[in-house]
Structure formats: structure tokens, C-alpha cells
Structure 1
């Protein structure tokens, strides 16, 4: 929806911290940003590592006031030969990771004048047109509706 996300101007002068699973990709992105953006490796599917990650980032960058949860994994899964381990990993990355990050940062964000949390969902969460991705469809629907409830309560 137009107007919900900040414009490019909002980001002017802001320090960007990038986070992802692959160090080499983070290094390349940091270099591409041109001002050596700090980066951290984190697999949002590794739920047990999220709280220590938040502690580290808050120690290093107490000015953090914006989170964009863009983690996502999408795998074709066949209901006739369903791989529960892959489904669980997809749920951890697409639901539990963003939830733990958001809830872990929420007290800090509430102390800021203007803080924002953005959870990236997908149209597939509303219209599950991809029949080979049943878990992904559901996780993106969950993320959307959870985000709406979180916003209503804040």
C-alpha cells in the first residue's frame, strides 16, 4: 500500500546495518553501499542464536530504530512425500525468526521516539496460487496477520 513504507528520503543520513546468512554476500552488499555498512551474520532459522544477536547489535548500535524482517525460504513440498524437517525449517525461518527478532527488539523500539518494524510478507499469503509451496503460503499469511495484530496492540 502506498504511504506505509518510508520514502527514500526517510533513509537519507541513516546508518544501515545489514544482516543475513551468507558472509560473502554481506561483504559484497556492504561494499556496494559505498560506506562500509556494518553487517552481521544471522540465520533466522537458528532461533537459539537470536537473543545473543540482539544483545550484540544493541551493544554495538544502540541507535537502531528500524527493522525490516525480509527473511524467507520457499521450497516446493509434495504432500504425498512431505518432508517435515524441511517444513519445520521453513516455519522457523519465515515465522519464528521474525517473531523472535521483533519481540526481542520491541522493548528497545518502544524507548525510541520513532521506531518501525516492517515484516515482509507475500501476496501468496492472501491468494495461495502456488500449490507447490503449501508451507510458504501459510507462513506468509501468518506473518501478515500477526503483524496487523502487533500494530493494533502497539
Structure 2
């Protein structure tokens, strides 16, 4: 995997992109598959990046000179972040969504990768009707839909109970 810093030329938004190789990046760029996660623009280019070079094995690490509080060394750069400020109402909405999903999952049984089979059993009356959640492939979900069995993805990722600390 290779990570490129990317920039959207329309809004000058900076973000990371992970690719299998430089050729994968070039192919996706040529086909117009890259878009800005902030504004949706497809006018994407690689941002200038500093190479990550390790120090020579025969050199001692140089300790950084501490800068006094409130002063800045001449020519020092200021910290830069590509973190997007999230409005308070979005944070509040996400908090409500987290709470609602947690309440729903507390009243539901985890069935793991047996979700499709258990959903069928419940639908056809071979098992007690109760809320369940688990994992299913896209093909399994499509098959359920063709049979008239509703299955919806959870809005937030779920950690399987056996994976929790």
C-alpha cells in the first residue's frame, strides 16, 4: 500500500488516499474515480509531500532545541492539520445516532455470520421472531431481498462480542 497526500483543486481541501501502487493511483485518476471527501470535486491532484527518510545508521539523533513559551524560532513553520472542523450540531446528531443504535443492539441478538440463515428462519416461521443483528455478504443481502426479507445495514460499525476486550 502507498499513501498519497491529495488535494482538491476546486476547494483546496487536503486529504489522504491509499492505493495499491502508483499505477493504481494513476488509473483511478485517469478514470475520474477520485473525488474530494469534503466537497465532492473530481479535480484531484497529488499534493507536494516531503519524503520520509531515515537517518544514517552511523549518526546520533539530534535533540530538538526547545523553544521558549510564546516565542517562535525564525523561519519556523506553524503546525498544519487536514482535520476538518465538525459543526456542533453534527457532533450532537452523531451522538444521538450512537445512542439509538446502542439501545437497538441491546434489544437484539448477535448472530454473527449466520445472519442470512437466521433471518430466513425467522421469516419462514422456523424460529422465534425477534430482532437480530450480524454480518452478511452483499450477495446474501441481495438474496434475502429477492425472497422479500428485509435486511438493513447498521449506520455505524459494530464490534462482534467475541472481539471486545
Normalised by the shorter chain, which TM-score bucket?
A: under 0.3
TM-score, normalising length: structure 2? 0.20
Which protein has greater RCO, CA pairs closer than 8 Å, 6+ apart? 1
Higher CA-based Rg:
2
Greater share of residues in helix: 1
- TM-score with structure 1 length normalisation? 0.21
